[in-house]
Amino acid sequence: MARRFSLSARMTTIAAILLCLLGAIAIHEVWTLHRQVAQERHTLAQSLVEAIRNQIEYFHTLEIIGDLSRAEAQRQALQVIQAARFSDGNYLWVHDLDGNVLAHPLNPELVEQSRQGSLSPEMSALLERFNKAISIKDSATVSYMWPSPRGGEPTAKVSYLIHFEPWNWVIGSGVYLGDINQETRSRAWLLLGSLAVIAVLAIGVTLRLALGITRPLKQVTAAMAAVAAGDLDHPLPPVERNDEVGDLSRAMAIFCQQQRAARAIQLAHQEQQRLTNTVFNTIAEGVIVTDASGVIKAVNPSFTQLTGYQPEEAIGQTPRLFASGRHDREFYRQMWDSLLRDGQWSGEIWNKTKEGRVFPEWLSIRAIHDDNQQISEYVAAFSDITQRKQQEERVQWFADHDSLTGLINRRAFDRDLPELVRNALNNHLRVAFLFIDLDRFKDINDTHGHLIGDRLLQAVAQRLRHSVRDGDLVARMGGDEFVIVLSPIHDRMAVYRLADALITKLAEPLHIEHTTLLPSASIGVLLVPDHAKSVDEALRLADQALYRAKNQGRNQWATLDGKGTVPAQAIKDDNPRSEAEG
């Protein structure tokens, strides 16, 4: 891993580099300053020597034109030289090629010593060195050690020499290197002080800039670390700055806002997913998820409870695993047509459990589409409606049957009769109507009470039901009125024998609650299409035949033909039910 190099460390490094650069600049400037001061001193010495030479040239000119003798011209020139001085103890002198000091403003005693021939050996050697240097060319520079005018040990000195040939004089001026160094130090301290001020200001500005950058960056970094750790509500640094740091803070604020929104969406999605999983796992309906080709991908616990199949037994299979065989191909074709056309299908279907039990279920299937609007899955939810079907059947049974006798009631009779008659006529078969009414039932009710009357009605209903075939229709029309519809009929005489048998059967004594009843009944018989061509006509004429039987004295049956009245027949048979079955 690369070593971490923080921004503050980088700024400190930059400040250190800046200090080093300033130090290098200071060294270079001091060195340059030293050269400059030395050059200035040398130039000043040369200028002074040149100026004195010009003065001597002046007096030499006066000598040439005769205004002054040589001796007088030299005397006046030496006076001018003796008076010449410049700052910091520097001076000039004049000596001749014979080694005599002619003028020395700073040490006039050297002039006297020269006249007396008592110059020191060092001085004489130095003059001889000067003369040797000047003999090569008219001007020269000589470096040597010589005591400073301010006293002390000999110090380095540089002198500039010019040979004035007409008089064989040598004019010289010197510069002490110590003076140059001192002036250099004075200027250097001033320069270094300025550079120090600049460095301090630069470092201060750099540090301030660094703190102005690193401090908010640290705040942003801390905020980003907190956000990365999941704390999206961590306080963010102020965003009032109008620089890159401010841009970064604003971007961070926008990012946090987006992350909070994304987190809210994610939490909502997770909650929705949790609710979906809860519903999926706890819903009472079985749920099946298949892919687009119908292969099962997932099932819920209720699926296992309803079908007996474990998830691993169903996943990878198709719903054909549950087929009961009760539905034909046309049923499934219509189901798939609806799914592909409408994206959904709902309806009742019979399926089979793992144990083989066939049961009715209410099934709802919905197609799920992907982003390209292509079907990706099918989701089916189903429930076992066996109890509901049974309840519906019970409700329907009570709706269609008389609660006292268990026979179908008038509502169901009126609903089913037209279809029954239509089917018989379409197959060129007869239908027989037997309208039955108990004789003097009101008297029985009034005499023995409604309880006995109800028990009588129940007994009559049982006798009627046992007297006909399973497919024949027996209904209580209300009160003590009953109707039997026989279909199909192949022999009309069998109907008459059944009517006669019913008269006999219904007249048998009946023992109820320690009471013996001797009931009887009147029956109106009518055949379709022999006597009527429509249901309504058959009902009307059968009712007329019933009243004919009543009017003829009760406890008998009667019929009508197409033209009018047909006398009652008393046709006996030992097994009238078998006859009616034709």
Per-residue pLDDT of the chain (582 residues; tens, 9 = 90+): 556 666 666 667 777 787 788 778 778 777 777 777 777 777 777 887 888 888 899 999 999 999 999 999 999 988 888 776 655 556 788 999 888 999 887 778 888 888 888 888 888 888 899 899 898 888 888 888 887 766 667 888 888 899 999 999 999 888 877 777 777 777 778 777 777 777 777 777 777 766 667 777 777 777 778 777 777 777 766 656 777 777 777 777 788 788 888 888 888 888 888 887 888 888 989 999 999 999 999 999 999 999 999 999 999 999 999 999 999 999 999 999 999 999 999 999 999 999 999 999 999 999 999 999 999 999 999 999 999 888 988 999 999 999 999 999 999 999 999 999 999 888 889 999 999 999 999 999 999 999 999 999 999 999 999 999 998 999 999 999 999 999 889 888 999 999 999 999 999 999 998 889 999 999 999 999 888 888 999 999 999 999 999 999 999 999 885 333 334 443 333 333 333 433
Token digits for 404?
A: 């006292």
Cα–Cα distance, 55 to 48 (Å, whole number): 11
The C-alpha atoms of residue 81 and residue 241 are separated, in whole angstroms, by 73
Q: List, in sequence order, every residue forming a beta bridge with 235; answer none if it has no partner.
A: none
Its pTM stands at 0.49
Helix axes 492-506, 450-466, angle to 10 degrees: 150
Rounded CA-CA distance 124/307 in Å is 137
Q: Are 348 and 360 in contact (CB under 8 A)?
A: yes
C-alpha–C-alpha distance, residues 46 and 335, integer Å: 122
Q: How many CA atoms lie within 13 A of 459 on its CB side?
A: 21
The pLDDT score that the predictor gives to residue 90 is 61
Q: Residue 355 and residue 309: Cα distance in Å, rounded? A: 9
Predicted local distance difference test score (pLDDT) of residue 218: 76
CA-nearest of 73, 36, 50 to 172 is 50
SS3 535: helix
Residue 297 CA to residue 504 CA, distance in Å, equals: 69
Tokens of 510: 């009946």
